[in-house]
Amino acid sequence: MSRIFLCAIGSLCILVGCASQASRNPLERQLFRPTGREIPQIRGTRYDCQNAVKQFGANKLWQANVSGRILTEEPSYNVSTKACFATQSECEAFLYLMNGKLEQIIISRCQLGFEDSIF
């Protein structure tokens, strides 16, 4: 009986350990919704470049440009996005987050100043 009990407890621990946990990254919690696809939802947030240009000015903000591919068992898909930040460190944190989500990275850069023509 104790062997069965230990096996049941062990199986339960494995299942609990494998369950996905909510992200502790505040940027990830703000930008990624549980849609099944790893596409950041920038529009309408404080990282939306239209909002950031009004708040900080086009020459003072940092623009992140990220493009790549996510490989899945379902059809793989491309992700291309831009986001704007008040500081270089926030911009680089976004790149770090996105580089962890993309399997194939095509573009991943931060630049000082806003360019509307990219993406």
**Two tokens, residue 58:** 């086009």
The rounded radius of gyration (Å) of the Cα atoms in the chain is: 19
User: CB 110: neighbour CB atoms within 10 A?
Assistant: 20
Choose between 18 and 112: higher pLDDT.
112
Task: Please state, in angstroms and rounded to a whole number, the distance separating the CA atoms of residues 63 and 48.
Answer: 10
Task: Please state, in angstroms and rounded to a whole number, the distance separating the CA atoms of residues 80 and 107.
Answer: 9
Whether residue 79 has pLDDT greater than 60: yes
pTM: 0.74
Over residues 43-69, mean pLDDT: 94
Whether residue 1 has pLDDT greater than 70: no
Over residues 34-44, mean pLDDT: 81
Choose between 106 and 2: higher pLDDT.
106
Task: Please state, in angstroms and rounded to a whole number, the distance separating the CA atoms of residues 85 and 111.
Answer: 10
